[in-house]
A and B are shown apart, each in its own frame.
Chain A
Amino acid sequence: MKLSISLAMLALALFILSLLVGPAALGIGDSIAGLFAGGGEAAAIIMREIRLPRALLGLAIGFSLGLSGAVLQGFLRNPLAEPGVIGVSSMAALGAVAVFYSGLAGSSLYALPAGALIGALAAVLILLAIAARQGSTLTLILAGVALSSLAGALTSLVLNLSPNPFAAYEIIFWLLGSLKDRSMEHVLLALPLMAAGWLLIALSARAIDALSLGEEAAGNLGIHMGRARFLIVAGVALSVGAATAVAGTIGFIGLVVPHLIRPLTNRMPSSLLLPAGLGGAALLLAADIAARLVLPAGELNVGVLTALIGAPFFLWLVIRARREML
């Protein structure tokens, strides 16, 4: 609990810092006044319509990714499982791209989560089917790599097929997500879905603890495997799908955060869930602040930064896992 409180404080501090960073040079006083004052002052509009939604999305999407990573690692008993690595995020992006750019729903933003949830759900179901048949750590990761590459290629194909010549330029957003220029519309679109996903994952907490003793033992403890599987599949699809729908693919947060935090917990998978979510929120907010500071005018995609941190970490995990197997 103490761990969760300190991580919550860290996330809150980064949330406030995120509100204070941006290309319009607003002083701290102006920023705070703008956040609470009404009216059409430029500072008020910038704070409430541009920076607040961005910080809220950073918080909620980071929470979703950290939480999903923790639950997938516990449920699949696989230290490398993570929505980005196993292809859930890229399938969600593919779903969003397929529905949005086809123009089926006009240019309405509602098309994004609708498609992303379908894509994420398909990915989780495919991966679970593979993991159920063959339990090895490596199989799941390789299947994830295949799924990610396929989804990435199809995303690029759909964007290139769009009759609008500008669509193809948006590939970078979908492959290396961003929180730039989001609005409250995006928050309203994604936050309820993400929150529903968090709830489902929280309900599976007892099941993943029992599962750490093996599937048979879990059954003996009265855990209904079908129910647990449904909660986790739906929870991950909802939270990662909604996150990807509004921010593109942001990788590695769900991988790095649970590993950093696990040594600080009692190592029960359920006790990792809340801290991993809060840690994910803190990491994404920090990365998003850095993305704005590194290249203030053009702005870096936040997925570039999370990959710069996450990919070497992933490599290190692979090497360590192999050493332990020997």
Chain B
Amino acid sequence: MRERRKRLSRLSGLTFLAGALLSAPVSAAPERVMSLNLCTDQLAMTLAEPEQLISVSFLAREPDLSMLHEKAQDFPVNRGLAEEVFLEKPDLVVTGTYSLHNTTALLKRLGFRVEEFSFVQTLDTIPGEIRRMGALLGQEARAEKLAEDFSQELDAIAKSQCDMRPTMIAYDQNGVALGSGTLADSVMQAAGFANLAADLGLVGVAPFPLEQVIAARPDVIVTSASEGAPTLGEHVPRHPAIAALPDTRIGAFVPAGAWSCGSPAVIEAVRALASLRAEIAPCPQDATQ
């Protein structure tokens, strides 16, 4: 008896799935899309028709964090509040899994269609994210092209690497470094650098003592290019001890915001670091070019 019920439920699950697949093409592209998260902002601004996207998060306009901060000026911004969503009545809300749990749960309960994107941690998942956002927005062709270009350029950069792997630490505001499992780590690897913070055991985005940065003597220290209102934290990467390292290159190198989110723009970070690698530690093939 129990067996039968199980089989029945499995069957009904299949019918449901089939129904969903069949009805998918029928539901037209959403006309009012709201993005509540910096990273979904980047994907949505890249892929959506301008009139399709009714607002992006306020962080999208931050020059230090958002690669597309200029484009974000063209869109209204939201603070990720459920009330704002409720008033705007979008037919699709895109947000991150890590941001605003309560808001997401509330919106789902109120019957909004909410699609969550997990925080991208490696470069190879980005083409998939681009395609997923494209499918959600009904912009499949545009997404396919972007995803394909992204993969191709990444492959080309990977092919131009050799055994020369200079060391690098990305040292950010407040003495925080980017360790293993971060998108930045994946970018460094792809561009031919060894991420020293990850090699020393740092996981994720975590405090990294200034003394250890000095003791590790990396070939390159990437600091964030901050142009916003002053903070004390931004003085840490500018500490005189770092400037005193004689053989270390220190600079922003990566365009502001380029590796804070898994969007097509990350390729610019990979490109910038790959050319830095070719400059400071040329591979045999770099010399022949």
Contact = CB atoms under 8 A, between A and B. Distances in A.
Interface residues of A, number: 35
A167 B229 contact: yes
B230 A107 contact: yes
Interface string B217-253: 1000000000011111111100111001111000000
B240 A24 contact: no
Contacts of B174: 166, 169
Contacts of B207: 297-299
Contact of A40 (B65, B173, B233, B245): B245
A24 B215 contact: yes
A109 B173 CA distance: 16
B209 A297 contact: yes
B105 interface: no
Nearest to B234: A107
A101 B231 contact: yes
A169 B234 CA distance: 12
B266 interface: no
B240 to A, nearest CB: 5
Contacts of B233: 166, 169-170
A40 B211 CA distance: 14
B231 A170 contact: yes
Contacts of A166: 173-174, 231, 233-234
Contacts of A181: 175, 210, 236, 239
Nearest to B228: A164
B174 to A, nearest CB: 7
B231 A164 contact: yes
Contact of B230 (A101, A183, A185): A101
A169 B207 CA distance: 14
B232 A173 contact: yes
A46 interface: yes
Given A162-B229, A170-B231, A49 B239 contact: yes
A165 B215 contact: no
11 contacts: A40-B245, A49-B214, A100-B230, A103-B229, A103-B230, A107-B230, A164-B231, A167-B229, A169-B233, A183-B241, A297-B206
Given A42-B217, A162-B229, A164-B229, 17 more contacts: A22-B209, A24-B209, A40-B246, A42-B215, A49-B240, A50-B211, A50-B239, A50-B241, A100-B232, A101-B229, A109-B235, A163-B228, A167-B229, A169-B174, A170-B232, A173-B232, A297-B206
